[in-house]
Amino acid sequence: MKNTTQILPGFHLSTLRKKPQTKAQKLAQALDKIKKHSINQLGEYFNQFIPKEYLKNKQKGNFSRLRLFSKSNTFWTFFSQVIDVDGGCKEALKKLQSHMVGQGKKVSSNSTSAYCQARTNMDFESLDKIFKHTTRLTKETEKWKSHRVIVVDGTGLSMPDTPKNQELYPQQKTQKVGCGFPSARALACFCLFTGALISYRLGNKKSHELLLLRDQLETFNVGDILLADKMFCTFFDVYQLKKLEVDSVITLAKRKPKTTKTALKVLAKDDLLVQWDKPVYTKRTSYSECEYNELPEKLTLRQIKVTVKNQGFRVKKFYIITTLLDAEKYTAKEIADLYYQRWDVELFFRDIKTTMGMDILRCKTPAMVHKEIIMHFIAYNCIRNLMLKAAKQAKVKPRLISFKATLQTLRSWQTIISVSENSQQEILRLRQTLIDAIAQCVLFQQLGRCEPRCAKRRSKPYKFMTQSRAALRELLRQGGNNANVA
């Protein structure tokens, strides 16, 4: 009988044997496994703001091996964490576990160690590139008389009381050791009309806001307008910006306002063309003597007196100093109305610090504090870009779209994005549905609102720490009654 490899009808030994897999096939399978364990659905959804090439694994070093917490997974888990209500690592991990359960995969460990190590391995340079990319998405926006208006202000941030944080961001000297928290100072430049954060600098209690601004002059383009409060009203800085062909609209500080008798020209009522004399150089001056010598002896400016008629404002009158000297092109009323919008920068910081929860940071080392801050800024700019798209659809100004409602909508949409295996067409449909939902979050305007500057809700009657926690513990062990706690 003739030998044959057929042992059953339709079955052959050749079909029962498995061919050895090539390295390319093994790599493809490993990549597919990582993809199924990932939360890249969020990345697929936001790749219109953050390109995938920024989040590719490296050839060697950190994020070079195929693991659950790849560079992309770590970034989007971090992104998801900063927009969550709780904002803790545990919640971020639970969200990843729920996604894996939805995909029918084995749930990862409950320990946050792997995720925290992956966050530590995220290089700051990559995050900075992503942040700068999000700042470029709002270039083509509404302008004020063909000028881009950049509003500037500073704010304080608190963080955990650890030795490393205290070393770089020391607490106030008036606070006793163990009774205060390290505090950082951030100065940020925002686009007035979109609310997007364009640039920022970090410092500690010794960092003056003027110095932080001078380190961001590359943010400004020819024709921009700086909109700021009296903190930035100095001869040196107004002149430096004018050299860059950047105009300023700021409130008068320290110098006495000029009168009609001392002014160069009276442009209109409460609108004067004035000259400032070069200040005297002292040892406390914040710039070098060489820079001082380059300053002109006189600086021609425009001074506008603004009378506040609305009730509820702390001031009844103030003076605006500007380098916009053309009174016909830029009327005093228009400049006053522009400065009135400066308050929006306080709302921008409120959105980041209060609504997104960046007021009190969580990380225990300065390096991770920097990453936590920049991740909040990246997420903030992505939300602002969603608001900009929704505003165009609703045909309203971006500032009229509610930031908090947009964030709440995004949080709700996350479950839809991460659970389903969405095709590209489905992702596009979800994107548009999200924009439609945000476009309905238009704020109700209460112009001329007058409210008392006081709090109704009483604080809890807890005492304040005036000694370190270790000292208070020892006092309790000795049967004390916390007499030294104020």
249: region left, alpha or beta (phi > 0 left; psi from -120 to 50 alpha): beta
Confidence of residue 369 (pLDDT cuts 50, 70, 90): very high
- Confirm if 252 and 305 have CB atoms less than 8 A apart: no
Q: What's the pLDDT score for residue 172?
A: 87
Token pair listed for 462: 């807890």
* Main-chain phi, psi angles of 264, to 5 degrees: -70, -40
Residue bearing the bigger pLDDT, 446 or 278: 278
456-480 residue pLDDT tens: 888 888 888 888 888 888 888 887 6
The predicted structure's pLDDT at residue 16? 46
What's the pLDDT at 412?
83
- pLDDT, greater one: 410 or 97: 410
The pair of three-digit structure tokens given for residue 300, joined into one six-digit string: 């021609």
Rounded (10°) CA dihedral 241, 374, 45, 138: -10
Contact 368, 119 (CB under 8 A): yes
What is the spatial distance between Cα 356 and Cα 252, in angstroms, rounded to a whole number? 33
Q: Are 36 and 43 in contact (CB under 8 A)?
A: no
221-269 pLDDT per residue, tens: 999 999 999 999 999 999 999 999 999 999 998 889 999 999 999 999 9
Question: SS3 of 157, please?
Answer: strand
* Residue 220: Cβ-neighbour burial (10 angstroms; 0-12, 13-18, 19+): buried
CA distance 53 to 64: 14
User: Is the predicted pLDDT of residue 10 greater than 80, yes or no?
Assistant: no
> Which token pair is 309?
């008629």
Quote the DSSP letter at residue 420.
Answer: S
- Average of per-residue pLDDT values in the chain: 84
Q: With contact defined as beta carbons under 8 Å apart, do 112 and 156 qualify?
A: no
Q: What is the pLDDT of residues 208-232, one digit of tens each?
A: 999 999 999 999 999 999 999 999 9
Q: What is the pLDDT of residue 38?
A: 43
Residue 378 has a pLDDT of 95
Cα dihedral across residues 410, 389, 441, 135: positive or negative: positive
Identity of residue 340: Y
Looking at per-residue pLDDT, the higher value among 45 and 358 belongs to 358
Q: Residue 32: pLDDT above 60? A: no
Q: What is the pLDDT of residues 275-314, one digit of tens each?
A: 999 999 988 888 999 999 999 999 999 999 999 887 767 7
Q: 347: closest CA among 406, 396, 405, 403?
A: 403
- Residues 309, 13: Cα–Cα separation, whole Å: 94
Which residue has 């949080």 as its token pair?
411
Region 396-412: what's the mean pLDDT? Answer: 91
Q: Tell me the β-bridge partners of 190.
A: 151, 197
Cβ atoms within 10 Å of 21's Cβ, excluding its own:
11
The H or E element spanning position 305 is strand 298-307
Q: What is the pLDDT of residues 80-113, one digit of tens each?
A: 889 888 888 888 777 777 766 666 666 667 788 8
**For the chain, domain boundaries:** 24-122, 137-355, 461-486
pLDDT tier, 31 (very low <50, low <70, confident <90, very high otherwise): very low
| Cα 85 from Cα 100, distance rounded (Å) | 21
User: Of the CATH numbers 3.90.350.10, 3.40.50.12160, 3.30.1180.10, 3.20.20.10, which one belongs to the domain with range 137-355?
Assistant: 3.90.350.10
